[in-house]
Homo-oligomer: A and B are copies of this chain.
Amino acid sequence: MANRNVLRVIKIGGNIIDHPDKTAFFLEQFAAIPGAKILVHGGGVLATQLAEQLNIPQTLIDGRRITDAETLRIAVMVYAGWVNKSMVAQLYALDCPAIGLCGADGDAIRAEKRPVRDIDYGLVGDVKKINVELFDAWLAKGLAPVVAPITHDGNGQLLNTNADTIAQEIAKSLSKAFKVELIFGFDKAGVLMQEDGVEKVIPQLNKKQFLALKAENVIHGGMIPKLENAFSALESGVNKIIIGNAVSINEMIRGEAGTSIEW
């Protein structure tokens, strides 16, 4: 496996997508990354804004958005339509060949509607299968897939799907063919801790350190499932995971920014 090529799977969210200037800056950095790369994007506030403009009420249960048919239509329009195609067009202007897709295209990402337990999340998908051959073929042609967080169930239903999960499942599925670096961009510079009253980024974090910092409540809240997912991806063959602010994507790749998660 030593001669596997590096593949970088990069996930960006609202802190990039909601700001055209940051998107442009990020895409310049993304275009400059050498070798195989895949971009997975979330949605940001654009979909919420559109729902408000259209007076489509958004239902939140325990802080989680419920995807009804109208909300799904908006998510597909905004994520798989405007956000996805705008970024692909911008990448060509940066000489970065790219192909935009959602999970239905070429059956790239098959999912199933999340089973109803305590909460019915509506038209939300849990990823079942990544079409490795399809991604492989595009990467071999030098195309960067740009993936919108919409999947399908194979029975005609599109499903709203978490972009972090999509990035992780793609990274795991492609780790047989590639040495995969999975990079999560979010609104912080990395996993943070307080040191002498100053907030600083933890440059490296292994499982043992994570468990200790979690026990001390230094790492808490939404960062815990993010990191647990990261360690699970490492177990599934992903080579390296970096968490940080996607505006510093090249520094993160060079190990000069963000938090590297190691086993």
Given the known A-B contacts A78-B81, A105-B99, A106-B99, are A89 and B53 also in contact in the complex, defined by CB atoms under 8 Å? no
A163 adjacent to chain B (CB < 8 Å): no
Other-chain contact of A156, B89, B138, B141 (Cβ < 8 Å) = B89
A103-130 contacts to B, CB under 8 A, are: 104-107
Contact with B along A178-196 (1 / 0, CB 8 A): 0000000000000000000
Contacts of A85 in B (CB 8 A): 76, 80-81, 102, 104-105, 150, 158
Q: How many interface residues does A have (CB within 8 Å)?
A: 39
Number of this chain's copies in the complex: 2
Contacts beyond the supplied A77-B82, A80-B81, A92-B156: 14 A-B pairs with Cβ under 8 Å: A53-B53, A53-B54, A77-B78, A77-B81, A79-B81, A80-B85, A81-B81, A85-B150, A90-B156, A92-B104, A92-B152, A92-B155, A98-B105, A101-B105
List residues of chain A with CB under 8 Å of any chain B CB: 53-54, 73, 76-82, 84-86, 88-90, 92-93, 97-102, 104-107, 137-138, 141, 143, 150, 152, 154-158
